[in-house]
Structure 1
């Protein structure tokens, strides 16, 4: 077996690991990663464990993906400061089917078939008294409270504490590991760094119940610019894999706008290039950072993987049009304009508003491009507004002359924010 620990270490993909794991991985090992269906789509952070699973598969190991139909009913308290809002069983089932499809497509693109499991299948028939008697007896209250995911909530006087429901989450995840160890000969669980406490609970349960040694490994969490992790239940903007929640254009642009500091880390995290190729690309990028070689390479690899090559070509073409000042919108055909419209933020605007004309500041507010007229006015005074790629410096009267193909108006704020309006009867 090739040294998977070395491969993941130089890529920066190991945060913590149980001692002895490297020796265990000298032989074919079954590993598992879990996803709770708290949303109907995976996101940017969810790609990392999938990448790691593929690395393991490429080196001869077997992988299992567990969809938490049972644990999703409870909610993982890790990195949370208040109780989760419970989802209905109907919503959870819908989320499970969506996530299963996404994971299957992502894994099939790069590797062999992976076994997908749902922990609700084996947990639904366990009586409550049997569970707390057979599993709960192995863990003291002191041990459970020592877990970071519980401790942060348990001792936080400013918050509402932690419910028994979420407090029990770690035991159920620990039982999943025990079940997979017995039924699937699984000896390694991987997860984000916030899952370390849940993973070690499973390892401890396997040791106490069977006498076997099991292993765990965590990877670093991907965080937003504000330091918060990308998560299915996190508030604020996310980068989703579902094209209806994050457009392929926006997904592509995320990678294109990664900073030079972050991009060197991400090219190691998210691609399967060899060490030699990656360091060659990094060196070339450092010599000519203005060419954004790494950003373009990663945008290509990730958009093609998640959305397909045809979609990648479409969004790359849209980006070239929007950011190339030499390309006039009036020179484009209607099909291309519609492609831009559907891929960037947009709105339908009533045609009757243009019969007598509408002033720019009113239009910017009415179209929802800006939240207020004052905000629009400040942007206009700062020479930051473009209409159809033409800089506008005063509150002009817009009419049919500003509408391309009698349908479209492209709004732009600064260098990177675009918005398209479609004029309809």
Structure 2
């Protein structure tokens, strides 16, 4: 149980730092309690949160109990770790609503995939009960200002005299440390996992838990996920890639992973999927030797879309992709046309059914002459069928209202009557 899990994490490149890897291996010989925290900064998680959630499932699959902590209290403060500027403070109502939304999302996402239910907690349940004087006396006295100032995440802010760091944000580490000690006291939690930007906070929690509870606890961090060129990962052309289908549709989610660069795709397969390291190596070898298109992007897109949106979401995403890029537009369901609108596909209201006028109104051509030339060249398709020079009308609409107009391979406009 112990070495198999840690060795798999090491093989996948999922361990950035650990307080004592050998001690953690020995600890995991028997079932343990592991936790990861998520502060509410929006009403949905995004793909950056998927890796720690999947990591928790890896721990449960290895026989351990998992806890998800939502920061109903710490979310009111905001973690300053490696942030260039001070966070804006959100209202209590806003944070509380976000906590409820994230709780529902996490449970809906994770429970069908777990052998046993996870434990979901909100740190507002205990931090809201702490008296400020008691907190400073019983918690603050265990923290050295010197050590806190030496943390890289704090030092970076202090080196920006135009920004600095407020006492509010400076105190965040104490609150997260208190969480670890409280989870250790309540549930016997002995291991905290999180992103590598949480290393300083995790070390603070380990030290405080030892001082307060007399317990030896440990920490393990995941690498911060970046693209191969070093740029931040997790955004598409239209913005953040959310796990909420109402913010990022299953189709847009699927396409995001399908467009993963070759330089990143095998690393992401290690991070985001349960495919074994050996299988990923075989897939990489196959793609390298094959004359056809690589399979890795399709595997990654299918695995993750299925994990987040289920079989129905995956089937819908693939159907839309096939409709757009293989001309099978008549296979689209009405809700999938709505997905395309959600994803920002240009939508134009048109007057009349004349094809040439529609091409101009859609913006795919700048003039009627240019529209006729495009049609003559076979560059215009209506609802997946190439328009002919003899065609005067758009033809029958989809669901009595829509026409999907296409120029070339990648330019689409949805026309609505």
Q: TM-score, normalised by structure 2?
A: 0.86
Indicate yes or no: 2:402 matched with 1:408. Answer: yes
Indicate yes or no: 2:117 matched with 1:123. Answer: no
Alpha-carbon distance in 1 for matches of 2:408, 2:30: 55
The Cα shift of 1:343 comes to 2.2
1:132–1:235 CA distance, 2 compared to 1 (3 A): farther
Give CA deviations for 1:116-166 in whole Å, capped at 9, x if unaligned: 000000000101111111111111221111122211111212x32111111
1:191–1:399 CA distance, 2 compared to 1 (3 A): farther
The Cα shift of 1:362 comes to 5.5
In the alignment, what sits opposite 1:7? 8
1:400–1:171 CA distance, 2 compared to 1 (3 A): farther
Q: How does 1:184-203 map to 2 (within 5 A)?
A: 184-203=187-206
Alpha-carbon distance in 2 for matches of 1:322, 1:357: 21
The answer for unaligned runs of 5 or more in structure 2 is none
Alpha-carbon distance in 1 for matches of 2:407, 2:212: 61
Equivalent residues of 1:106, 1:306 under 8 A apart: yes
1:356–1:302 CA distance, 2 compared to 1 (3 A): closer
1:352–1:422 CA distance, 2 compared to 1 (3 A): closer
Equivalent residues of 1:12, 1:269 under 8 A apart: yes
| Matching residue within 325, 341, 361 for 1:323 | 325
1:93–1:355 CA distance, 2 compared to 1 (3 A): farther
In the alignment, what sits opposite 2:269? 267
1:126–1:317 CA distance, 2 compared to 1 (3 A): same
Alpha-carbon distance in 2 for matches of 1:185, 1:156: 40
Alpha-carbon distance in 2 for matches of 1:417, 1:5: 47
In the alignment, what sits opposite 1:99? 102
Equivalent residues of 1:387, 1:411 under 8 A apart: yes
1:284–1:66 CA distance, 2 compared to 1 (3 A): same
The Cα shift of 1:354 comes to 6.4
Give CA deviations for 1:267-317 in whole Å, capped at 9, x if unaligned: 111111233333222222222273331111121111111111112112111
| Matching residue within 27, 37, 40 for 1:24 | 27
Alpha-carbon distance in 2 for matches of 1:211, 1:356: 77
Q: How does 1:299-378 map to 2 (within 5 A)?
A: 299-324=301-326, 327=327, 329=329, 332=330, 336=332, 338-344=334-340, 345-346=344-345, 349-352=348-351, 358=357, 360=359, 363-364=362-363
In the alignment, what sits opposite 1:138? 142
Equivalent residues of 1:346, 1:422 under 8 A apart: no
Equivalent residues of 2:67, 2:118 under 8 A apart: yes
Secondary structure at 2:240 match in 1: coil
| Matching residue within 161, 180, 198 for 2:183 | 180
Alpha-carbon distance in 2 for matches of 1:282, 1:118: 42
Secondary structure at 2:87 match in 1: coil
Alpha-carbon distance in 2 for matches of 1:67, 1:98: 11
1:289–1:323 CA distance, 2 compared to 1 (3 A): farther
Alpha-carbon distance in 1 for matches of 2:62, 2:328: 50
Give CA deviations for 1:216-251 in whole Å, capped at 9, x if unaligned: 0100122367712549xx998111000111011000
1:414–1:401 CA distance, 2 compared to 1 (3 A): closer
1:114–1:415 CA distance, 2 compared to 1 (3 A): same
| CA RMSD, 1 decimal | 3.2
The Cα shift of 1:355 comes to 8.3
1:337–1:400 CA distance, 2 compared to 1 (3 A): farther
Number of aligned pairs?
399
Q: TM-score, normalised by structure 1?
A: 0.84
